[in-house]
Structure 1
């Protein structure tokens, strides 16, 4: 019987989300011949962690569901043992990239990938704590339904379980590497306040995530499409498409990756304080020609209040600015991955980490002039908005050189982690998640 990992990384209070995740795990175990490892990776302070622990304890027992609730101390213990046995000459640096002192969307999911490998899971199914499932006529619409129908299957064998297929016949023998959907509700990036205050400033800011050489028309189209997910329409009936999934059509709150094809081969960029850094594998799956399934069991996205408080606002805007700067390097890598196509895969149809690491490393040599222009545009736009946005512009002005250096350094870290990833995954598969009592190593 295969095992899968249904995971929720969180750094905010979300006991209701944990309860809902438990319901999704039960649905998966009741409808499919699988064992489910329900994994909550908790970076919250002790009082919140305690509430989460109680939520996990209250989940109904199921013979084929095993819950795991790990605080950062437990995660660190596991990662210390994995990095020490990874064969890397820099285990301490790898540990810092896996569990950094600060927020990292990529690193938290990378930890889930390694823990899933340790637990013998074939796939990882990720959800977010600031989202919830749709319900129709009292029935909860769980994305795991579509994920488990096809993840890891030969594409040809997935055809009968999807609504339709546009996958080229030449790719029929490759495995379904990713199954995903999007979200409905609030924008995925918390910039609606800017849009409502000044649509012109909103265009100037959001267009900064496009490549610098794009035409004004292409940037306008990107702005109109960005961060909206699947819009606001509620779920009515199932639809699934076997295809090369457009990265703009899926979201990391609603995604599943096949381990052997992709998530055990290449990690996510571990950049700190950078939104969007966890979307890299979606692009890799598409550009390498790996089959995916796009379904319509969209998750409902919402924003928590903390990012609109004083300190929370400054922190979130910093993460957004770093996202915009990261695109100089990511667009370079994405363009060359698209050119490389299936040469990104080995003869078994699995992603080749060396090819990805080489492109990431090449991107660190780019001229930062385009990012200097991004910072100039962001400064002008936020000063037009005034108020706390102007205050953030003042803060940004004091950090310009550091932010430019960090954008480059984050890609160098990604290259290093990618080069070490196979060793880390191999070590994880030989490392127990928790040591038996009395053992120290």
Structure 2
């Protein structure tokens, strides 16, 4: 029986999300021949989360793990012990502050330690849709297709748009998107000044993108599936576009995350989508479904402090794309040459692209900061505080964007050793 990890990384109190995750795990174990490990990787220390985990009803085929910060650190210390620059590795895996990539990397390593064949990630600020009075669980499509030969999956999906050359490869990614509020807190910006919104959001898009495509990309950015509501299953076997999936609603095969991790950049949104680009660009098959998750904002995001912190994460994302887009251009050009003879991602090639990106000219990112600062000052109000913070931290922001890529390259170099070294907590 295969093992899978249904993972919820969180740094906030989220008892409702924990309860919902337990229900999805029970559904998975009841309907598929799997042992489901529920992993709540919790750095919040919120007592509500621990209570919610304890309250999960026992379910056949479900094993529940709740790892607080101390337990995660002990698990990671064991893994890095004896590896080169162990302290640096530990800092990238469990950093101070928020890191969307690092929290998911910890889930990948925990899955490897448990012998799981896949990771199914959810988020603490999302919930499931309901249809016919029952929750719509994405894990249904994930377990139906993930890890199987694409040719064998073709009869179980609504339609196939997969290149016939990829039919003998295994499905590496199954995912959907979200409905509800924008995944990035920019609705206020869009409402305040659509032109400024176009200018600022457009900064993540590569410079060589044609103007018409750029406008469409800006309009679709961070919108997910918009207002679409579940009305029955629709699935597509394809090379899944990173624009069509969200990290709150995704599953990945160990054959992907066991070779390449996510960028561990701190206080930066969006960098945890790296593997979706890698799967797409290398021609690995995926399944796109419409069991979209409902996104909602926490109260903290509405406060002035939360607003400023999140906007600065968005700024760092815009700077990170200067480097990531250069890497994506290389992976897209490489295509299935990114795969070895067994169809696995060649981590060394990816690492080389990442290391090379560190030396990119920073003038383009400096220009992005000019646009951001000027645009936010034009808006006034609490956007001025963001502009002031950008101006005050300008040099550090530019330096850190390059440093984040150097850290990512270092982590890729050591990742396979980490994956081999992990053992379950308590062993």
Give 3-state SS (helix, strand or coil) of 1:190's partner: coil
* 1:145 paired residue number: 140
Task: Give 5+ residue unaligned stretches, structure 1.
Answer: 436-441
- Is residue 175 from structure 1 mapped to residue 170 from structure 2 by the alignment? yes
* 2:424 paired residue number: 432
* 1:58 paired residue number: 55
1:67 is aligned, of 61, 64, 69, to: 64
Correspondence 1:128-207 to 2 at 5 A: 128-207=123-202
Give 3-state SS (helix, strand or coil) of 1:387's partner: coil
- Is residue 393 from structure 1 mapped to residue 390 from structure 2 by the alignment? no
CA offset digits 1:269-291 (Å, max 9, x no partner)? 00000000100000000000100
**Higher deviation after alignment, 158-167 or 232-241:** 158-167
Task: Give 5+ residue unaligned stretches, structure 2.
Answer: none
Correspondence 1:79-158 to 2 at 5 A: 79-85=76-82, 88-158=83-153
In the TM superposition, residue 348 of structure 1 has moved relative to its aligned partner by 1.1
Give 3-state SS (helix, strand or coil) of 1:267's partner: coil
**Higher deviation after alignment, 91-100 or 158-167:** 158-167
Hey, what's the Cα distance between the residues in 2 that align with 1:108 and 1:216?
A: 36
Contact kept, 8 Å, 1:187 with 1:229, in 2: the verdict is yes
In the TM superposition, residue 347 of structure 1 has moved relative to its aligned partner by 1.2
- Is residue 376 from structure 1 mapped to residue 370 from structure 2 by the alignment? yes
* 1:354 paired residue number: 348
* 1:11 paired residue number: 11
Hey, what's the Cα distance between the residues in 2 that align with 1:308 and 1:53?
A: 26
Contact kept, 8 Å, 2:128 with 2:293, in 1: the verdict is yes
Correspondence 1:38-57 to 2 at 5 A: 38-44=38-44, 46=45, 48=46, 50-57=47-54
In the TM superposition, residue 158 of structure 1 has moved relative to its aligned partner by 1.0
Hey, what's the Cα distance between the residues in 2 that align with 1:235 and 1:78?
A: 39
**Higher deviation after alignment, 312-321 or 23-32:** 312-321
Correspondence 1:243-322 to 2 at 5 A: 243-259=238-254, 261-322=255-316
Contact kept, 8 Å, 2:121 with 2:249, in 1: the verdict is yes
Hey, what's the Cα distance between the residues in 2 that align with 1:427 and 1:160?
A: 39
**Higher deviation after alignment, 142-151 or 206-215:** 206-215
**Higher deviation after alignment, 147-156 or 307-316:** 307-316
Contact kept, 8 Å, 1:212 with 1:370, in 2: the verdict is no
In the TM superposition, residue 56 of structure 1 has moved relative to its aligned partner by 0.7
RMSD across aligned positions (CA): 0.9
Contact kept, 8 Å, 1:13 with 1:52, in 2: the verdict is yes
CA offset digits 1:50-72 (Å, max 9, x no partner)? 21111011111123101000001
In the TM superposition, residue 170 of structure 1 has moved relative to its aligned partner by 1.2
Hey, what's the Cα distance between the residues in 1 that align with 2:357 and 2:32?
A: 43
Contact kept, 8 Å, 2:157 with 2:237, in 1: the verdict is yes
State the 4+ residue runs in structure 1 displaced beyond 6 angstroms: none
2:405 is aligned, of 397, 400, 411, to: 411
Structure 2 CA distance for partners of 1:347 and 1:187, relative to 1, 3 Å: same
Hey, what's the Cα distance between the residues in 2 that align with 1:419 and 1:82?
A: 15
TM-score normalised per structure 1: 0.95
Number of equivalent positions? 427
* 2:230 paired residue number: 235
Give 3-state SS (helix, strand or coil) of 1:80's partner: helix
In the TM superposition, residue 217 of structure 1 has moved relative to its aligned partner by 2.8
In the TM superposition, residue 213 of structure 1 has moved relative to its aligned partner by 3.5
Hey, what's the Cα distance between the residues in 1 that align with 2:12 and 2:381?
A: 27
Contact kept, 8 Å, 1:171 with 1:291, in 2: the verdict is yes
Contact kept, 8 Å, 1:119 with 1:433, in 2: the verdict is no
In the TM superposition, residue 215 of structure 1 has moved relative to its aligned partner by 3.8
CA offset digits 1:35-57 (Å, max 9, x no partner)? 0000001011x4x2x21111011
Give 3-state SS (helix, strand or coil) of 2:276's partner: helix
In the TM superposition, residue 246 of structure 1 has moved relative to its aligned partner by 0.9
Correspondence 1:333-348 to 2 at 5 A: 333-348=327-342
Contact kept, 8 Å, 2:26 with 2:60, in 1: the verdict is no
CA offset digits 1:136-173 (Å, max 9, x no partner)? 12111000000000101111111122111111121111
Give 3-state SS (helix, strand or coil) of 1:4's partner: strand
Give 3-state SS (helix, strand or coil) of 1:132's partner: strand
In the TM superposition, residue 434 of structure 1 has moved relative to its aligned partner by 2.0
